[in-house]
Amino acid sequence: QEYLDFRKERSRMLLSRRNQLLLEFSFWNEPQPRQGPNIYELRTYKLKPGTMIEWGNNWARAIKYRQENQEAVGGFFSQIGELYVVHHLWAYRDLQSREETRNAAWRKRGWDENVYYT
């Protein structure tokens, strides 16, 4: 009964709900626990149907430019649920670190060329 009451109360707070089964991209590092505290950024991209392989190939080259500071936590794609959806999870010490790390990536030769096509 307690669980049923919880579900009823929770449903009053939700506007919508979606589920996805995600797989990890093989070219990303294995997600590891982080020393904290950190802020995490989850970026979601909806790809055009039929572009997942091309997109993945570009990111496989691009991700090496973002590995120095260990901010890349994981990259995942939808297998069940809404297809052609990609998620990136990034970890930063704080917002200043996020800004500095992202700006540093744009100064690296090759990052912009690979990311442009994604």
The answer to whether the beta carbons of residues 60 and 27 sit under 8 Å apart is: yes
The answer as to whether 103 is a domain residue is: yes
The answer as to whether 1 is a domain residue is: no
Sign for the CA dihedral angle at 59, 60, 65, 69 comes to positive
Q: Which of 89, 64, 63 is nearest to 75 (CA)?
A: 89
Range of the domain at 112: 18-116
Q: Are strands 85-92 and 39-46 parallel, antiparallel or unpaired?
A: antiparallel
- Look at the chain and report how many structural domains it folds into: 1
pLDDT given for residue 84 in this prediction? 92
The whole-angstrom distance between residue 61's C-alpha and the CA centroid of its chain comes to 16
CATH number at residue 81: 3.30.70.100
pLDDT given for residue 24 in this prediction? 92
Residue % of the chain over a pLDDT of 70: 99
The answer to whether the beta carbons of residues 50 and 106 sit under 8 Å apart is: no
Least confident of 20-24, 30-34, 74-78, 87-91: 30-34
Report pLDDT digits (tens) over 20-68: 999 999 888 788 888 889 999 999 999 999 999 888 888 888 888 787 7
